[in-house]
Structure 1
Amino acid sequence: MTKRPVNLMDNPHADRVKRVAQLAGRSAVRNRRQQFLAEGPQSATEAIRVHLGLLELSNSTRQMWPVGETVAEVYFTRQLLVSQPALSALVHQLPSNVFIAETSNEVLQAMSDAVVHQDILVVVNIPPGNSPPPQQAALVAGMVRIQDPGNVGTIIRAADASGADYVFATPGTVDIYNPKTVRSTAGSLFHLPVYTRVDLESFVGSFQGQTWAADGYGNLVLDQTDSFLLNAPTAWLFGNEGQGLNEAELGLADQRVAVPLYGLAESLNVSTAATICLYSSAMAQRRHQPSAS
C-alpha cells in the first residue's frame, strides 16, 4: 500500500504545537473546541480503528463515534515506524481530511501531557450532544462524583472488559476527556458509550432494572448475594474516593452492597471495587444465559 504524504514538524514553538498542547490543560479549552488528546499506541490505535470503521461496535457506541468523524489530527515520531509498524500502517490509511505530521521528539513532547511522550498523539473530536443513557441495559457502571482521572479511566476500562452496555458520570466527576483519564482507559473509551453530566435521580427513576450502590457498610455482602439477584439487569453506582456515596445518593439505590474484605485492609480503591462488582454481575449474567441449541 502506498503511504500517503505527511507533513513534517520540527519547531516546538510553532502555533500549531501550542494549540494542540492547550488540549492537555483545562477542560474549558476542550469543551470550547470540542476536541481532546489520545496519547500512546493503545489509545491512538483504538481512536484510528473507530475512525476507519474497523471495530464491531454496538449501535449506541457507533452513534457516539461515527465512522470518519472521530480523528482530526495525528502526530507521531519516526520511532513509531520501528516500534509500532501496524499502527504506522493504520495512520497511513486515514483519509486526506485528517491532518498527519511526523514530528521531532521535541515537538511531540511539547504537545504531550505525559512525562515522556509515547511516539504518537491523536487529536480526537468530542462526540456531539449529550443524549440521556438508555433506559434498558443489562449492566451499567455509574460514576458519582469521582475525582481521580486514573480511577475514572480504570472504571471505564473495567466496564468495557466486563461487557457493560455503557458508563455514565454525574456532575462533579472529573472530565472523562482529561489526558490522564483517556490514557487510563487504554482505548476502552472508544469501545462503549460514556454519558456525562447525568442527573442521578433522573437516571434511577427511568432505568428499567435494579440500581445497586457499592457501599462498604452495605447490609448485602457481594459474596453472599444470590446469583439470581446478580443476574438481573443492574446499574452499579460508585462514589467519590474520599466520601463515597452520600445518604441521598445511597437512598436512591435498591440495595447497598459491600465487597467483602478478607484481609486487614480498611477499604478498597473505588476502581478496584468497581471491577469486582461489575465482574460479579457479568459472570452471573453469563452463567444464566440460555445455551445455544
Structure 2
Amino acid sequence: MPRIPDVTLANPRAGRVKQVRALSGRSARAKHGQFLVEGPQGVREAVRHASARVRDVYLTAPAARRHPEILDTALAAGLYVHLGTPEVLDAMSPDAQGVLAVVRTDEPELGEALDRRRSPDRPLLVAVLASVRDPGNAGAVIRAADAAGADLVVLAGESVDVHNPKVVRSTAGSLFHLPVVTGVPLSDVVEGVRAAGCAVLAADGTGDHDLDDLLDVAGASPEGVPDLAASAAWVFGNEAWGLPSEDRALADAVVRVPIRGRAESLNLATAATVCLYASGRAQR
C-alpha cells in the first residue's frame, strides 16, 4: 500500500474548498475549463485513462485506505494528491464518498474524433444523442456505448452538459474510455458521420425496419435495407418526445426495436443499449 499523505485540508470553509464546490455549476465549469469527478469508480478511471487531464485528486484517509489503487495510480502518475478531512470532502461534494478529482475538460472536434477512431480493419459505431436533457439517461447511454464497443458518442443540439456531475457519475468512468463530442447541431453531425462512411440509423418506434429483421440479414442485406455489419451512427431522441419528423428525415433509415410483450415502450437508455449491441454484434 502506498504511503498515505498527511492531512493538508481541514477547513471546510477554505477558499480551495469553495472553488472545487463551485464546479458543480455550469458557469464555473465553463469559466475554468474544469469539472468534478465524484466517487471512487469515476476517479479510478480518470487517473487510469486520463491522467494528463487530472488536475487534483482529493481523498479522506479512510478512502485512501479503502482504495489504495487510486492513490497508488495517482502518485505514480505524478498527480497532485490532497488528503482532506471527511468534513472537507463533504463540503466539496456530498456525493464524493471520500474520493474526488478535478479534471480539465476535453472538447474534441467531431471530424478529429472520427479520424482518430477510423480504421480500415473495422467499421465505425457512433451513438448520437439528439436534444437529450436528462443527465442520468445521457450518462447511461455513454456507459452503454462504451460497453458495446462504440467509437464515440455525440451529444447533439440542446443536449445536457456532459460535464454535469450527474452525467459524469452516471457514466461510471466510461467518460474517460471513449471520446464524447458536444455542442454540434444534429444536421452537422449527420453530415460528418456520413462523410466518415457511416449509415445514419434513427431509433424510433415508428420505424419501417425491425431491428431483429436487420440482424437476420446483417452482412448480406438486400438493396435498400440497412446493413448492421457496416459502419453506423445511431441517433436517439429526447426522453419525452423522441425524434421529431425533421430529425427522422435526416436519417438513412428509421429502425424500431421490437416489443414482444405488453410494455408500451422502452426507455431511452435501454433502447440505445439494444441498438448499439445489435450493431456491435453484427460488426464483429
Same fold by TM-score greater than 0.5: yes
The TM-score range, normalised by the shorter chain, is 0.7 to 0.9
Deviation at 1:171, TM superposition (A): 2.2
Secondary structure of 2:162's aligned partner = coil
Distance in structure 2 (CA, Å) of the matches to 1:177 and 1:74: 17
Which residue of structure 2 aligns with residue 238 of structure 1?
Answer: 236
What RMSD, in angstroms, separates the aligned Cα atoms of the two structures? 1.8
The code of the aligned residue for 1:74 comes to V
Question: 4+ residue runs of structure 1 moved beyond 6 angstroms?
Answer: none
Which residue of structure 2 aligns with residue 139 of structure 1?
Answer: 125
Which residue of structure 1 aligns with residue 60 of structure 2?
Answer: 77
Distance in structure 2 (CA, Å) of the matches to 1:275 and 1:220: 17
Which residue of structure 2 aligns with residue 60 of structure 1?
Answer: none
Distance in structure 1 (CA, Å) of the matches to 2:99 and 2:278: 36
Give the TM-score normalised by the residue count of structure 2: 0.88
Q: C-alpha deviations, 1:82-141, integer Å up to 9, x for none?
A: 31122222232232xx43211111111111152xx3110000001256453427551100
Give the TM-score normalised by the residue count of structure 1: 0.85
Aligned partner of 1:125 among 104, 110, 131: 104
Do 2:38 and 2:169's aligned partners in 1 also have CA atoms closer than 8 Å?
Answer: yes
The code of the aligned residue for 2:207 comes to G
Deviation at 1:50, TM superposition (A): 2.2
Secondary structure of 1:110's aligned partner = helix
Aligned partner of 1:227 among 200, 218, 226: 218
1:1-293 alignment runs, 5 A limit? 3=3, 5=5, 8-25=8-25, 27-52=26-51, 69-95=52-78, 98-114=79-95, 117-127=96-106, 130-132=109-111, 133-134=113-114, 138-206=124-192, 207=194, 208-225=197-214, 226-228=217-219, 229-286=227-284
Distance in structure 1 (CA, Å) of the matches to 2:31 and 2:108: 13
Task: Name whichever of 176-185 and 84-93 sits farther off.
Answer: 84-93
Distance in structure 2 (CA, Å) of the matches to 1:188 and 1:234: 20
Are the structure 2 counterparts of residues 156 and 3 from structure 1 closer, same or farther at C-alpha, using a change threshold of 3 Å? Answer: same
Distance in structure 2 (CA, Å) of the matches to 1:10 and 1:264: 55
Are the structure 2 counterparts of residues 241 and 113 from structure 1 closer, same or farther at C-alpha, using a change threshold of 3 Å? Answer: farther
Which residue of structure 1 aligns with residue 223 of structure 2?
Answer: none
Are the structure 2 counterparts of residues 130 and 232 from structure 1 closer, same or farther at C-alpha, using a change threshold of 3 Å? Answer: closer
Secondary structure of 1:174's aligned partner = coil
Distance in structure 2 (CA, Å) of the matches to 1:259 and 1:6: 54
Do 1:140 and 1:166's aligned partners in 2 also have CA atoms closer than 8 Å?
Answer: yes
Distance in structure 1 (CA, Å) of the matches to 2:34 and 2:160: 16
The code of the aligned residue for 2:114 comes to P
Q: C-alpha deviations, 1:35-75, integer Å up to 9, x for none?
A: 001111111011111245xxxxxxxxxxxxxxxx3110111
Deviation at 1:143, TM superposition (A): 0.6
Which residue of structure 1 aligns with residue 222 of structure 2?
Answer: none
Do 2:128 and 2:235's aligned partners in 1 also have CA atoms closer than 8 Å?
Answer: yes
Do 1:24 and 1:113's aligned partners in 2 also have CA atoms closer than 8 Å?
Answer: no
Are the structure 2 counterparts of residues 146 and 140 from structure 1 closer, same or farther at C-alpha, using a change threshold of 3 Å? Answer: same
Unaligned runs of 5+ in 1: 53-68, 287-293
Distance in structure 2 (CA, Å) of the matches to 1:39 and 1:280: 32
Distance in structure 2 (CA, Å) of the matches to 1:128 and 1:253: 25
Do 2:129 and 2:235's aligned partners in 1 also have CA atoms closer than 8 Å?
Answer: yes
Do 1:7 and 1:100's aligned partners in 2 also have CA atoms closer than 8 Å?
Answer: no
**Matched positions, count:** 265
Deviation at 1:261, TM superposition (A): 1.1
Deviation at 1:219, TM superposition (A): 1.4
Secondary structure of 2:241's aligned partner = coil
The code of the aligned residue for 2:102 comes to V
Distance in structure 1 (CA, Å) of the matches to 2:104 and 2:191: 31
Secondary structure of 2:12's aligned partner = coil
Distance in structure 2 (CA, Å) of the matches to 1:101 and 1:122: 10
Are the structure 2 counterparts of residues 209 and 108 from structure 1 closer, same or farther at C-alpha, using a change threshold of 3 Å? Answer: same
Secondary structure of 1:92's aligned partner = helix
Q: Percent identity over the alignment?
A: 44
